[in-house]
Structure 1
Amino acid sequence: MSMLQFTVPPLPHYMLCGPSHYAPGGRHVSRRNVGVFDLLFVREGCLYMAEEDRTFEVGEGCALILRPDRYHYGTKGCEVPTSYYWLHFQTTGSWAATDGEPPRHGEEAYDEKRTQALWSYATHTFPIHVPQFVRLSQPGKAEELFEQLVKLNQSFYSGSAKWSQQSVFQELLRQLSASAAKDESTPAAACADQAAAYLRKHYREPVTAQELGERLNFHPVYIARCMQRYYGCPPMEYLLRHRIEQAKLLLLQTDHPVARVAEEVGFNQAAYFTSCFTRAEGLSPRKFRQRFAYG
């Protein structure tokens, strides 16, 4: 497996992303030495890509990072309608391409000079490894992160939005790195991913744990355990968090009244929405808008 090794800090930083689509016969453009990393994540269909003499079939749920210093091109047209996200990122730190699995760090020998240096105020760098091509173990989670980045693009001049973009991008890189580990692709991870995808798709509608179990054909208790393990929360809490995130975007990007925002994201009562939002964010929807809409 080809890995990209980044020395951090500084961390790779997000620049811009967006959705794209090809009809059958469409192919990716050819570019040489573009100067930025180009991350492609396919939602459906397949992209046929090459970087120099290496070819890739980037199918549904797969991601490919094209290097900034190489020639890349589409090897042939798409055979079926293909939709994907593209994302440009860069690093001001050092990086390198390596072959093989990332090194597994065992217990290190004691080094007196190094130990003393760690107690100093100097900045200490370390490597992170991201696969150049990988099938995501949780493609639904990756798609959710891309959706967040695209929506945050609409608040280009908001300082809080830019900060959020970098945070979401780091989580996306972590998802790519975690997917390189073979033991991540488990039935439990697939169950959690399916549940999260369903909740994101139907967040505007009333959803119960029982309904979720019936839709996915899993027991609600099993779904809850899977989501707790891979998302850190049970389904209904995940749904609430997603609704709050969507509400934050509406508060920043529109001038809709709070009651309408509540309705748009699946709350039947504005007062309950305000209570949940305040508990999650530490301030009311109205104060959130006042503080961050023009941040």
Structure 2
Amino acid sequence: MAFLEITIPPLPHYITSGLNSIPQGGQHPSRSHIQVFDLLITTSGCFYIGEDDARFEVGAGQAVILRPDRYHFATKECEELTHTYWLHFHVGGAWGLINPSAAPLVSLEDPTPKEAKVEAFAVEPFTMRIPQFTTLQHPEKMYEVFDQLLQLQSRSHVSSARFAQQQLFQEILHQLAASGETDHASASRTCAEKAASYLRQHFREPVSAKQLGDELNFHPVYIARCMQKEYGCSPVTYLLKLRVAQAKLLLLQTERPIAHIAQEVGFEQAAYFAASFARLEGMSPRSYRQQFSQGT
């Protein structure tokens, strides 16, 4: 199954939507490089469309997302009267079409961090995965959201209505993402979330891969694979980033000695704390504190 993976922020942006009817013997229009994503949801009947080598038969209760940078073409005439909701949206950040069926190789060790842009309170990006083609879990709920969007069209010049449209669009994305979660994917996410929760509760203590595995009743390699998939890093790196993030807050909000802060956030040795901090933030804890101190 192919997924549209979107990096957030920024949030995907709703543009416009509508309801379309295709008569028996008619086709969905063929278009090329329309520069926006096109979400199509069939409420009755079925239409047939292609994108590159992919072919989609979109029946009632099913959805497909067509890319903005591809040629889309009808592959067959509709055999009956077909009704579809359509929605155009824009993705301002990074995105890609992926096939996550092959699990990536992961390491239990801490990889060398990339050069960091130093910020006092950095925004941590995350990804949303939406199936390109899916059968909706709750079609009627999706139809209700689209009807609400259509009711707002006449007031789309009003800021409050436009904000409400964006909120409804996020609910649509949430429903689409949920429809693509298989039992395996749900188990993977549950494992990753349990691991993250445990690390957040015990980051001040020494935590080994074996200890984490014993606590969660999963093999450490499976935990690492799940966390890599959901958070983009191994448990070791997640724990390190968490400790450094807590240290950054203490450096800015308190006058405690750096060695004391290191111990408070789980580093047994101040030298290792300083080295880890520098690798992630690009400067020493002392320099970080001085850079963001008042009057500097």
Give the alignment's TM-score, normalised by structure 2: 0.56
- Aligned partner of 2:181 in structure 1 is 181
In 2, distance between residues paired with 1:152 and 1:101? 39
**Residue 163 of structure 1 corresponds to which residue in structure 2?**
163
Give the 3 Å change call, closer, same or farther, for CA 96–143 of structure 1 in structure 2.
Answer: same
Q: What whole-Å deviation, never above 9, does each CA across 1:54-98 have from its counterpart, x for those lacking one? A: 100000000000000000011111001100101000011110110
Question: Once the 2 structures are TM-superposed, how far is the Cα of residue 113 of structure 1 from its aligned partner?
Answer: 7.1
Alignment of 1:203-222 (within 5 A): none
Alpha-carbon contact 1:149-1:168 (below 8 Å) kept: yes
1:26 is matched with 26
Cα distance change of structure 1 residues 111 and 30 upon mapping to structure 2, 3 Å threshold:
same
CA gap of 1:58–1:168, structure 2 versus 1, over 3 A, is same
Deviation, structure 1 residue 124: 1.9
Secondary structure at 2:120's aligned position in 1? coil
**How many angstroms apart in 2 are the aligned matches of 1:44 and 1:72?**
21
Quickly say closer, same or farther: Cα 1:102–1:42, change in 2 above 3 A.
farther
Q: Percent identity?
A: 43
Instruction: Find the aligned partners of 2:118 and 2:147 in 1 and give their Cα distance.
Output: 39
Deviation (angstroms), 1:139: 0.6
Residues 103/44 of structure 1: CA separation in 2 closer, same or farther (3 Å cut): farther
Q: TM-score, normalised by structure 1?
A: 0.57
Q: Which amino acid aligns with 1:44?
A: S
Distance 2:110 2:24 in 1: 59
How far apart, in 2, do the equivalents of 1:89 and 1:177 lie?
Answer: 15
1:150 aligns with 2:153: no
Flag the 1:112–1:34 CA change in 2: closer, same or farther, 3 A: closer
CA distance in 1, matches of 2:57, 2:33: 21
- Size of the aligned set, in residue pairs, is 182
Shift of 1:181: 1.7
Counterpart contact for 1:3–1:102, Cα < 8 Å: no
- Between the aligned partners of 2:7 and 2:98, the Cα distance in structure 1 is 13
Tell me if structure 2 keeps the 8 A contact 1:145–1:168.
yes
Q: Equivalent residues in 2 for 1:185-264 (5 A)?
A: none
Asked if 2 retains the 8 angstrom alpha-carbon contact of 1:23 and 1:78, the reply is yes
One-letter amino acid matched to 2:46: C
Letter matched to residue 88 of structure 1: H
Counterparts of 1:126 and 1:103, CA distance in 2: 19
Secondary structure of 1:145's match? helix
Taking the aligned partners of 2:49 and 2:128, their CA distance within structure 1 comes to 25
Match of 2:211 in 1: none
Distance across 1 between alignment mates of 2:178 and 2:35: 26
Range that drifts further, 82-91 or 153-162 = 153-162
Structure 1 gaps of 5+ residues are 185-295
Q: 1:102: Cα distance to partner?
A: 9.5
Q: Once the two structures are superposed, what CA deviation does each residue of 1:2-34 show, in whole Å capped at 9, x if it has no partner?
A: 001111000111000000001101101111111
Aligned to 1:20, what secondary structure does the other structure show?
Answer: strand
Alpha-carbon distance, 1:52 to partner: 1.5
Write the deviation string for residues 141-192 of structure 1: whole angstroms up to 9, x where unpaired.
11111111111111111111100111110110010110012359xxxxxxxx
- In 1, distance between residues paired with 2:132 and 2:143? 18
